[in-house]
Amino acid sequence: MRYFIELSYNGSAYHGWQIQPKDISVQEVLEKALSTILKETISIVGAGRTDTGVHASQMFAHFDTGIKFAEQQLTYKLNSFLPKDIAIHKIFKVQPEAHARFDALSRTYLYRVSLKKSVFSYNNALYMKQDLDVDLMKEASKILFDYRDFQCFSKTNTDVKTYNCYIMAASWFFKDDELHFVVKADRFLRNMVRAIVGTMINIGLGKIDVEDLHQIIASKNRSEAGYSVPAHALYLTKVEYPDSIKLYD
């Protein structure tokens, strides 16, 4: 049987989602927990590859096993076994060919910018001392819809076949003392969201004109875009799938 796991994690202590040769990752910790509880070697495939320090309030992964178990009971056992920064929300059966990564219809990310010094949010949001022209940043976010190729925001030397992404939503808005950027797309390139946010912060600071964003994207050159903002304020918040992947008893 193939199962999907819905989980969340605080990425502060991990070198991203994907297993690393020498560094601890969320995937490694979860695989070890599953293998220990089910008493067989379990490999999992995630919906994406969040980078070092990036968090996820909703992530999915799939795994295969011939062992029978009660989904709620395994969820409880995993949460008791796993460290406090990884939480399992649900485990459910899916179609045999369902794939956590390739069947995802969209992914949504949130980036948090703190506009006020806070002793509680400095680990979770980027604190900006300078004033930002948010109206310009909102205007710039609309330009993203005009393009498909976002190579300029991609980490260099990646092994992707295409830099095309379909952006479905992108907006800036205020929430209490923070400025949030939410972006939804069918896929994201490595470092893409952090590079977009860094570029738009430069626009908000007046270092780049809004119209320059057209030239930056068209250049397909990472050095033309803005800096990559820190990972600690980035969250994968939603992954959507077609209902047809679920297997109903």
Question: Which residues have a catalytic role annotated?
Answer: 51
Q: Which residue has the tokens 């979770």?
A: 124
> What are the residue ranges of helices labelled H in 115-245?
134-143, 192-204, 212-219
Tokens for 220, please give them. Answer: 């397909």
| Rounded distance between C-alpha atoms, residue 206 and residue 93, angstroms | 51
DSSP string, 20-78: -SSS--HHHHHHHHHHHHHTS---EEES--PPTT-EEEEEEEEEE-S----HHHHHHHH
Strand duo 167-175 + 178-185: pairing: antiparallel
| Rounded distance between C-alpha atoms, residue 209 and residue 217, angstroms | 13
Strand ranges, E, within 84-208: 86-94, 106-114, 126-127, 167-175, 178-185
